[in-house]
Amino acid sequence: MRPLQTTLKFATWLLCLFVCQTAWGQGLTGSVLSDKGDLLPGVSVQAENQRTHQKYAALSDEHGVFEFKKLTVGEIYDLSFTFMGYAPGSYKGFVIKQAGNNSLMIRLHEDTKGLNEVVVTALGVKKELKKIGYAVQEVKGADLVKARDANPVTGLTGKVAGLSVAANPELMGTPSLVMRGNQITLFVVDGVPISSDTWNISPDDIESYSVLKGPAAAALYGSRAQYGAILITTKKANPKRGFVVEVNSTNSFDKGFIAVPHVQHEYGGGMYGLYAYADGFGGGLQDAQYQLWGPRFRGQLIPQYDGAYDANTTYTTTFGDQVYKGHIKPEPYLNRGYVNGKGNLERFLRAGFQTTNNISLSASGEKYAMRFSLSQSHQEGIVPNTGVNIINFNTTASYKASDRLTFNTNFNFSRTYTPNIPDVTYGPNSLVYDLSVWTGDEWSVTSPDIRGKWQPGYKDVKIVFPEHVHYNNPWMMVEDWLRGHYKTDVNGYISANYKLDKHLDVTGRTQVTTYNLLRTEKMPWGAYTYARTLGQGDYREDRRNMFESNTDLLLNYNYNVTPLVNLTGLVGANWREFTYSSNFTSTDYLVIPKVYNFTNSLNALMTNNFNSDMRVLSAYASMDATIGRYATLSFTGRVDKSSALPKGSNVYFYPSVALASVVSDYVKLPDFISFLKVRGSYATVHGDATAATIGATPYNTYTQLSGSTAGTLTTNFSQYGINYLSPYNGPDYSLQAVYATSKPYNNVTAASSSTNIFDPNIKTFNRVNFEEGFDIRFLENRLGFSATAFQYIDGPQILQNAVSPASGYTGYYINALKTRKTGYELTLNGTAIKTKDFAWDVLVNWSTFKDVYDELPPGQTYYNTFFKKGDRTDKLYNTGFVKSPDGQIAYDAGGKPLKNPVNQFLGYMNGDFQWAINNSFRYKQLSLSFQFDGNVGGVISNRLYSLTMQGGANIATVEGAIGKSRLDDDQNAGVSSYKGTYVGKGVQVSNGAAIKYDNFGKITNYGELQFAPNTATSTVQTWATQYYGQIQEGMLTSKTYAKLREVVIGYALPKAWLKKSYISNVNVSLVGRNLLYFYKDNKYKGIDVEQYNTASAASGLQTPTTRRFGFNLNVVF
Amino acid sequence: MKKLIIFAAVIIGMSSCKKSFDDLYVNNNKPIGVQASLLFNGLLAGLVDAPGGQLDRISQYQLQNNSYFGNNQYNFGSGDNLYLNLTNVVNMEKQALAAGAAPRNPYSALGKFFRAYYFAKMSLEMGDIPMTEALNGAANLQPKYDDQKTVFSNCLNLLDSANTDLAALIAANDRTLTGDMYFSNNLKQWQKVVNTYKLRLLIHLSKKANSDEDLNIPARFAAVLNDPATYPIMTGMSDNLQYVWLNPTNKYPLNKETFANGSLNNSASTYVGLLTTLKDPRVFVTTDPAPGVVSSGGSPTDFSSFKGGDIGADMGVLATQNGAGVISYINRWRYYSGYTAENTFIIGYIEMCFNIAEGINRGWATGDAEAWYKAGIKASWAFYGVPDAGAMTVYSLPLGVPVSGPYVQSTVNVNFDNYYAQSNVKYAGNNDAGLTEILQQKYIAFFCNSGLEPYFNWRRTKVPAFSTGVGNGNNNMVAMRYKYLSQDQSANTANYNAAIVQYGNVDDINGIMWILK
C-alpha cells in the first residue's frame, strides 16, 4: 500500500487518495476503506474510459468490495468514488492489464466540512449543501456539550452568522434567540415541531443543530418558521458500531462576576443626608422607601433599626434645622455591610454549581437500531437556596421490518423542577432590587439578627430589616418566599416509511408535543411588595397544559428524467391540532401565616382560567430539479387552512424557489479557487393570528394587584412578580372584539368594550424574502468564505394601527405597513495549519441588518408620531435634554437639566453588526479552542445605571466633583436654606426668554435665546434624579461589548492506552465560559448588555453574571 | 402501502375533530355581548378622579418633594382619552335596546349625561375636540374637531334632554336601572346630578355670559334656579355624586399601608396659606403642622405652625425644606390612619352652592348669593367635622411616631360666626371682592375632590393666586391646556393641524382656548 496521488478535482473537501495496485486477474476489483480502516459498503464507483468516454458504474458490497467485469484490456480508465459523508476520491489513468488481476484498494477520507456535506432541511429532509439555494448553517451537537452553559441552546452563540443568542443571566431564564432581528420560536426535532422553552432539550441527545435562516429555508413549515427555525437531529444508534455505551459528565461552577454593579460604600440609606429609624415604615426620618442618599458613615449617633426601643425615653437627633425626636436609642452610624472588600450583594451570593450527567446506550443489528439515553442535571444558583433540576429520557428506535418497510420512533420525556427560583424583576419581590440598587451598607447580610430573619416573638410574622415598605430581608426572600416551577414535557413521534420502488417512498408520521406546568409562589407574612402592602403573604398557583399533535403523510420521489435532469422532492399533508388550558389562582392575603392553601385566603380568591383550541390543515410539496452539474432548482409550496383566522381568509399559500449552482463544476477557475457556488432564493410566507408565548392570566387582570388592563394573552395581571411566558404557538384571538370584564368596585363585575376595531376583510400578513449568496473556497479548500445578502419585505402586516381616539377606539386592525429589512452575513472558515500532529482551524461569523419603513398606513405621513417612510424601525425616541445650538445641555434656574417636552431621537437600538471568532488548535491528543464574540453599536437606556445614579448607590456619586459636592450635602443635611454646591455642566438661558418648541420638540426661537454657562447650584441628589432619572438621554449607554465566550482545553487518551480495556474513547476537557466581558466604561458594567439583542429601549435589573469553569469527561465503551 | 394508508387513517381518525373551523376561531374566554348594567357599572366606577397624585399638585394643594417620585411641573402631555368611556356609553345604550328596553330608558337618559360629562371634560382639558363626527369607529377614522362653543352647546342640550328623559321615566315609575353603586338606581337622584352638573358647565362659560347670545348662559342658569320642579338640583350633602371608599377592595389612595408615601409630599402654600390667612379651622383637619416647627416648640394648634411649601420653587429647595421639617404634610390622622379617609366628590352639593352664589354675583339670576355662599362654607365645615361652635379635637402626627400612633391630640375652639365675621370671609356683596371670596371658599372646599375642577376654576378666574417659578417647568408658567391626544398627530393629521392653527400651529400647552377668552 503506497500513496500514489492526491487529486483536487472538486473544491470543497480535503482529499487524499491511497491506491494499491496489485495483479489479481481479469476485469477490475477493488475495495474501499475509510481512513480509519473500516470497510465502506455502498460506495458509488464510476469508471470512465479516457478514449471513448464510456462509463461504467458499480457499488461496493457489504465488505467494501466493488467489481467491474467488462473493462477492456489495454484501455485507460479514470475512476471516481463517491460516498455520503466522505470526500470523493478519484484515480486517473488506470490501465487494464491483460494478464493477471487488476485490483485497487482505495481510502476515502471522512469529510468534516466539505460542501458535499449533507445538512438537514425542512421536514427533516437531508440535502447536499451544494444543492441548497439558501443560507443554512449547521452546528454539531458535540460542539456544545463540553463548554456547556446552563441552558442547552446558548452554546449556539457566535456559531452561526445572523443568529444572535443572548444568554439570560437569570436562573431558568429563557435565552433570546434572534435570527436576522426576529425571535426564533420554532424548534423542530427530526422533522417535527416541538414545543420548547429551550430547557426541555437535552444537548447530549443531539447529533446536530441546523439553523434555517430565512423563509425560503423554512417555507415548508409555514408561518411558524417565518423567522427561521432551529432543526435538531437527535442521535441515533450507529448501525456500524453495534453496542455502544457513552458517558458524558460535566461539572462546573459559577464564580467571579463579570457584570456586577459598582457601588459606593461611604453613605447609607436615607434621603438628603437624613435618616432616623422609627419603624421602617415611614414613622421615622426617611426610614421607608429610602435611597442611598442617607448620612455618611462617620460614627455619628443615629437611631437605627437594631437600636434599643424605650417608650419612656425621648432621644433627640439633630440634622441642621431638623430636630428629630424618637424612642430608639441612637448608636454610632457605621458601615456594616462592606466587609473585606465585599458588599452585601457579593457576600450574599454564593458560587453556583452545575452537574450534568448523561449515559446513553445504543445497540444496532441487521434490522434495528436503538438508542436509550438518560440525562440528569442539577444546578445550584448563585442566589442561595435556588436551583434547577432537569431529568431527561430519550429513546429512539428504528426497525426494518422488510427491505421496504421501516419504522422509526422517538420519545423524549423531560422534567424541569425546582422548589425555588428567584424572581428578578423590578420591585421589592426581587432580590437584586434590594441588594443591587436600594439598600447599602447600613446593615449587614451576615449579622445574626438579619440572618435570623424573624423578630423575636414574631416568627413567620414579622421580619427583621431596616425597612418594611419596599425592601425585604434577603434571607427571608430566598428561604421563605419560594417560587416553584414544575414542568413536564413529553414529545415523540412514530413513523413508518415504505419504499414503493426505487423512486418513491411514502412516510406516515404522527407526533405529539405536550407539557404540563405548575408554578407556585409562597409569599410569607412580613414580605412587602407593590400592591401587597398589608404584608400578610399570598399563595399562587399557575397551571398550564398544552397539547399539540402533528400528523403527516408524505411521499418522497426521486426520478432521473433524462441523464441530465434529476427530480427529487416530496408531496405531503399535515394535520395540526392544538389545545391549551390554564388556570391561575391567588389568595388575597393569608389568614394564618405559612398555610399556603386557597382555603386560607383572607379576602375573596382571585382566579381565572383560559382555554384555546386551534387546527391547521396543510398540504405541501417540494421539488429539487438538478440539471447535471450545472444547477439545482428547488421549488416548494405550502397551503394552510388555519382556524386562527376568520372565515373567508383562513386559507393561504406560500411559494418558494431557490437556485444553486456550483460554478466551479463547469467553469474553469483560477487554481487558487477550488470551489465556487452561487445561490439565490425567493419565498413568501404568511402569518396568522397566533402568539409564540403566553402568560399566566390571558385577558385578565385583578384590581387588587394593580395589573395593567390590556386584554391580551400576555396581560400583566400584577404589579409585582414576573409574568412568566411559556411556549404557546396557539391562537391569540387578536382579531376578535370581546368585552373585557373586571371587578372595579366592591367585587362587582363590570364590563368595558373592546378598544379595537377590525377590517372585516383582513387577511394574513406577508413576508417576501429574497436572498442571494455565494460560497467560495480557496487554496485546496483550506479557506472557505460564504456571503449572504437578504431582503425581506414585511407587509402588508396585520397591523393594529393607532387611529384617532375620537373614533371611539385606539386600534384598527388592518392590512397595512410595509417594512424592508436588508442584511448581510459573512462566514469565514479555514484551516490555517494542518499537519499530522497539529491543526489550527478558524471560524469567523459576521452579520448585520437594518429594517426601515417602506410604506406607511394609507393616508399617513407619520407612523407612531415620529416615523417617516425610509426611517429605520429601531430609532429610539425618548426623553432628551434641551440643548443650546452648540449642543450643550440647558439648565433651569434651579440647576437641573431641562427636559424637552417632546421625545427626541436618541439613537438606534439595534447594533451595527455582530461578530464571532472561534479558534481551535489540536496538537496530537491535546486540543484548545476559544471564542470571542460581541456586538458593535446600538444604544439602550441602562436602567440599572439610572437607578444607581438616582439612588445614590453608584460609585460615580462619590467620585470627582459629584463626590465633593456630596460631602457638602452631607455636612448641610437638614439646613433649610442650603441649596447644594454641585454645578451641572451646561448652559442657562440668560436673558429670561421663554423657550418655544414645535410639535416635534425642535426649538423654534433660538434667535431670541441667549445662553450663558450654568452657575446654579444643586444638591447632588436632586441633580442626579433629574439628569439620570427624568431624562432617558442621561441614562443612555452603548451596546458595544465583547466577550471571551468559551475556552475548552481537551485531551483524548491515546487509543493505545485503551487497547486492552472495554473503553474505546476517553476525552477530558477543562472548560470555561464567559470568562471576560469587555465594556468600555466600568460605570455601566452592572448589566450584561449581551442579553439585549433585540431593539429594546431599556434594560432591566439582573442578577450579576459570573464566569463559569468546568470539567467534562466523555467516555465511550 | 395499504397497511400504511390504514395506519395513517387510524392516526388521523384518532385526532378526529369535534369542532368546525368557525367554532375554533371564536374566543370563548370573553363575552362578545354583555348586559347594559355591566357597562353601566364600569362607567360609574370610572367616574371618580382619585386624589393623592398629580391632580392635587396641578391644583396646588399638595406638592412633591422628591423628584425621583415625580415633580410639580406643568409640562402637560395629552389630556384624558375619554372616547373609550364614550364607546362604552354607546354600547350600553345599544345593549339596553337590544335587551328590549324602550327607546327612552334609564340607560339612554344617563347615556346623555355621560356624553355631556365626558365631552365637556375633554374640552375643558384640551379645547376644541371632535364631537359631532366622533364615535363612529371605522366609518369615520378622521373626525373633524368641533369648536369649543359647539361642544358646550351640545353638552348643555344633552343635559336638558337627559333631564327631560329622566323626568318622564320617573313619572312612569321606571325601575329598569340596575347596578347603580351611587344612588341605588334612584333616578330622581340622577336628575339632580344632571341639573347640578349643568350649573357647573354654565359657570365654566362665565367669560362668554355677556358676549355669546347663542348659548344664552344667564337665562339657562336662571331657568334652573327659578324652576326647581323642572330642574331639580341637589339640596344637601346626601345628594352628592360621590365615591365611597371601601376596604379591602377600594382603599383610599392614602391609607395606612401607603403611609410611607406621605413624606414624599407636602402641603402647598397656595392652599395652606389661604387657610391660615383666613384663620380657617379646616387647616387642622386637612393638614399636619410642620413637624420641625412642632419639635422645636411650636404649637400644633397655632395657625403659624402650618406651613405649605412653595410649589413654584425648585425641587431641591422643597426637598431641603422638607428635610429640615419646616413644611407641613397632609393630615395623617384623617388621610392615613385608616383605609377610607373621606368620600370623594365627583359632582357635589358644596360646589353647587358656590356655583349658584357666583351666578347670582354675576347677575345671571336673582337670589341671595350670600346665603348660598354661607351654605357652601357650612357644608364644607360639616364635611370636615368642624362644628359651628365649640371644641373640636384635632390630631397630628409628629416625626418619629408610626402611623398607628400615638397621635398628638389637641383641642381647638371654633366659632363659625367669628370666622365669618372676618372681612376676608364675610361676603362682600355682588361685586368682584365678593366673587373672589366665593372662589376662595370654593377652592378650599375642592381639596382632594372633583378632579381638575379647582384648576379649571383658577384658569378661568385666577383665584386663588397660583404660585409660579422654576418648579413649574414650562418656562416657569402654569400651563393653560393639555395637548391633544397624541395619536391624532399621525392618524388624524389634517384635522389636528387645523385645530392647532389657533395656537400658532403648535399644540401649545400655553395656548388660550375659547372659553378662556
Nearest-Cα distance to chain A for B466, in Å, is 19
DSSP state of B138: G
pLDDT tops 80 at residue B328 = yes
A975-994 residues touching B, CB cutoff 8 A: 975-980, 994
Percentage above 70 pLDDT, chain A: 96
Interface test with A, best of B3, B12, B29 (most A CBs within 10 A): B29
A1009-1028 residues touching B, CB cutoff 8 A: 1018-1019, 1021-1023, 1025-1026
The CATH number of whichever domain residue A99 belongs to comes to 2.60.40.1120
- Please check whether residue A1050 is in contact with residue A1069, taking contact to mean a CB–CB distance below 8 angstroms: yes
| Local structure of B222: helix, strand or coil | helix
Amino acid at A973: A
CA angle B241, B246, B251 (to 5 degrees): 105
B324 at A interface, C-beta within 8 A? yes
Position A25 scores a pLDDT of: 39
| Local structure of A969: helix, strand or coil | helix
- Please check whether residue B348 is in contact with residue B428, taking contact to mean a CB–CB distance below 8 angstroms: no
A759 at B interface, C-beta within 8 A? yes
Set of chain B residues whose Cβ sits within 8 Å of the Cβ of A899? 75, 473
Interface test with B, best of A468, A705, A807, A878 (most B CBs within 10 A): A807
Q: Does A27 fall in a domain?
A: yes
Q: Is the dihedral of CA A214, A219, A220, A224 positive or negative?
A: positive
Nearest-Cα distance to chain B for A10, in Å, is 40
Residues A59 and A91 in one domain: yes
Percentage above 90 pLDDT, chain B: 93
Q: Can you read off the three cell numbers belonging to residue B506?
A: 403648535
Residues A167 and A223 in one domain: yes
Position A106 scores a pLDDT of: 81
CB contact under 8 A, B249 and A736: no
Domain count, chain A: 2
Position A648 scores a pLDDT of: 87
Set of chain A residues whose Cβ sits within 8 Å of the Cβ of B22? 647
- Taking alpha carbons only, the member of A117, A128, A228 closest to residue A634 is A128
Residues A29 and A104 in one domain: yes
> Cβ-count burial of A526 within 10 angstroms (0-12 exposed, 13-18 middle, 19+ buried)?
buried
Position A1 scores a pLDDT of: 33
Q: Does A127 fall in a domain?
A: yes
CB contact under 8 A, A893 and B259: no
- Please check whether residue A734 is in contact with residue A710, taking contact to mean a CB–CB distance below 8 angstroms: no
Position A20 scores a pLDDT of: 34
CB contact under 8 A, A807 and B26: no
Per-residue pLDDT of A601-626, as tens digits, reads: 999 999 999 999 999 999 999 999 99
Instruction: Determine the Cα–Cα distance for residues A970 and A981; give it in Å rounded to an integer.
Output: 11
Residues A124 and A228 in one domain: yes
Instruction: Determine the Cα–Cα distance for residues A888 and A882; give it in Å rounded to an integer.
Output: 8
Q: Does A510 fall in a domain?
A: no
Residues A95 and A124 in one domain: no
Per-residue pLDDT of B299-312, as tens digits, reads: 999 999 999 999 99
A901 at B interface, C-beta within 8 A? yes
Residues A190 and A134 in one domain: yes
Nearest-Cα distance to chain B for A533, in Å, is 5
Q: Can you read off the three cell numbers belonging to residue B321?
A: 425644606
A863 at B interface, C-beta within 8 A? yes
Position A748 scores a pLDDT of: 93
Which contacts of B173-176 are long-range, i.e. CB under 8 A and separated by 24 or more positions? B174/B105, B174/B106, B176/B101, B176/B105, B176/B106
Instruction: Determine the Cα–Cα distance for residues A550 and A193; give it in Å rounded to an integer.
Output: 8
State how far Cα A45 lies from the chain centre.
Answer: 45
Residue B38 neighbours by CB under 8 Å, 6+ apart: A739, A741, A749, A750, A751, B179
B297 at A interface, C-beta within 8 A? no
Instruction: Determine the Cα–Cα distance for residues A96 and A77; give it in Å rounded to an integer.
Output: 8
Interface test with A, best of B1, B10, B15, B25 (most A CBs within 10 A): B25
Position A228 scores a pLDDT of: 86
State how far Cα A87 lies from the chain centre.
Answer: 35
Q: Largest alpha-carbon pair distance within chain A?
A: 123
Q: Can you read off the three cell numbers belonging to residue B408?
A: 398628638
Instruction: Determine the Cα–Cα distance for residues B432 and A221; give it in Å rounded to an integer.
Output: 78
Residue A1076 neighbours by CB under 8 Å, 6+ apart: A258, A1043, A1044
Set of chain B residues whose Cβ sits within 8 Å of the Cβ of A312? none
A680-709 residues touching B, CB cutoff 8 A: 698-699, 703-704
Q: Can you read off the three cell numbers belonging to residue A753?
A: 368594550
Decide which of A212, A238, A264 is a domain's last residue: A238
Please name the residue of chain A whose CA is at the shortest distance from the CA of residue B8: A508
Residues A87 and A126 in one domain: no
SS3 content of chain B, % helix, strand, coil (to 5): 50, 10, 45
Q: Does A168 fall in a domain?
A: yes
Q: State chain B's mean pLDDT as an integer.
A: 95
Residues A118 and A234 in one domain: yes
- Among B140, B319, B323, beta carbon nearest to A807: B140
Q: Torsion angle of alpha carbons A875, A879, A881, A882, nearest 10°? A: 100
Range of the domain at A50: 22-110
Residues A94 and A204 in one domain: no
Instruction: Determine the Cα–Cα distance for residues B517 and B512; give it in Å rounded to an integer.
Output: 7
Please name the residue of chain A whose CA is at the shortest distance from the CA of residue B315: A1022
CB contact under 8 A, B71 and A980: no
CA angle B167, B170, B174 (to 5 degrees): 135
Set of chain A residues whose Cβ sits within 8 Å of the Cβ of B68? 291, 950-951, 1025, 1029
Please name the residue of chain B whose CA is at the shortest distance from the CA of residue A614: B24
Please name the residue of chain B whose CA is at the shortest distance from the CA of residue A759: B138
CB contact under 8 A, B320 and A979: yes
Instruction: Determine the Cα–Cα distance for residues A305 and A465; give it in Å rounded to an integer.
Output: 7
Per-residue pLDDT of A18-47, as tens digits, reads: 333 333 335 788 888 877 667 777 787 888
Q: Does A584 fall in a domain?
A: no
B211 at A interface, C-beta within 8 A? no
- Please check whether residue A136 is in contact with residue A163, taking contact to mean a CB–CB distance below 8 angstroms: no
Position A11 scores a pLDDT of: 27
Instruction: Determine the Cα–Cα distance for residues B174 and B103; give it in Å rounded to an integer.
Output: 13
CB contact under 8 A, A899 and B263: no
Residue A1098 neighbours by CB under 8 Å, 6+ apart: A940, A941, A942, A943, A1032
A271 at B interface, C-beta within 8 A? yes
B464 at A interface, C-beta within 8 A? no
Residues A129 and A101 in one domain: no
Set of chain A residues whose Cβ sits within 8 Å of the Cβ of B41? 744-745, 748-751
Residues A105 and A144 in one domain: no
Residue with cell 431527561: A392
CB contact under 8 A, B491 and A802: yes
pLDDT tops 70 at residue B10 = no
A 10 A CB-CB count for A459 gives 13
Position A144 scores a pLDDT of: 78
List A611's β-bridge partners, or say none: A581
- Please check whether residue A55 is in contact with residue A61, taking contact to mean a CB–CB distance below 8 angstroms: no
- Taking alpha carbons only, the member of A982, A984, A988, A1023 closest to residue A883 is A988
| Local structure of A1004: helix, strand or coil | coil
Q: Does A524 fall in a domain?
A: no
B16-75 residues touching A, CB cutoff 8 A: 17, 19, 21-22, 24-35, 38-39, 41-42, 44-46, 66-68, 71, 75
Region of residue B474 (left: phi > 0; alpha: psi -120 to 50; beta: else): left
Q: Can you read off the three cell numbers belonging to residue A749?
A: 363585575
- Please check whether residue A980 is in contact with residue A1023, taking contact to mean a CB–CB distance below 8 angstroms: yes
The CATH number of whichever domain residue A163 belongs to comes to 2.170.130.10
- Among A752, A812, A979, beta carbon nearest to B316: A979
Q: Can you read off the three cell numbers belonging to residue A457?
A: 416573638
A 10 A CB-CB count for A457 gives 7
- Mind spelling out the 3-state secondary structure of B234-280? CCCHHHCEEECCECCCECCCCCCCCHHHHHHEEEEHHHHHHHHHCCC
**Nearest-10 crossing angle of helices B106-126, B187-204:** 20
Region of residue A971 (left: phi > 0; alpha: psi -120 to 50; beta: else): alpha
Interface test with B, best of A507, A650, A804, A1026 (most B CBs within 10 A): A804
Decide which of A196, A222, A238 is a domain's last residue: A238
Residue B65 neighbours by CB under 8 Å, 6+ apart: B264, B265, B266, B309, B315, B318, B319, B321, B322, B327
Question: What parts of chain A have a pLDDT lower than 50?
Answer: 1-25, 112-115
Decide which of A80, A95, A110 is a domain's last residue: A110
Alpha helix ranges (H) inside B16-82: 21-25, 36-45, 54-58
- Taking alpha carbons only, the member of B454, B462, B341, B472 closest to residue B52 is B341
Set of chain A residues whose Cβ sits within 8 Å of the Cβ of B325? 321-324, 974
CB contact under 8 A, A323 and B7: no
Residues A189 and A205 in one domain: yes
Q: Does A74 fall in a domain?
A: yes
A309-348 residues touching B, CB cutoff 8 A: 319-327
Interface test with A, best of B2, B3, B10, B11 (most A CBs within 10 A): B11
Q: Is the dihedral of CA A791, A797, A801, A807 positive or negative?
A: positive
- Please check whether residue A843 is in contact with residue A829, taking contact to mean a CB–CB distance below 8 angstroms: yes
Q: Does A122 fall in a domain?
A: yes
Backbone angles phi, psi at A798, to 5 degrees: -85, 100
Set of chain B residues whose Cβ sits within 8 Å of the Cβ of A641? 21
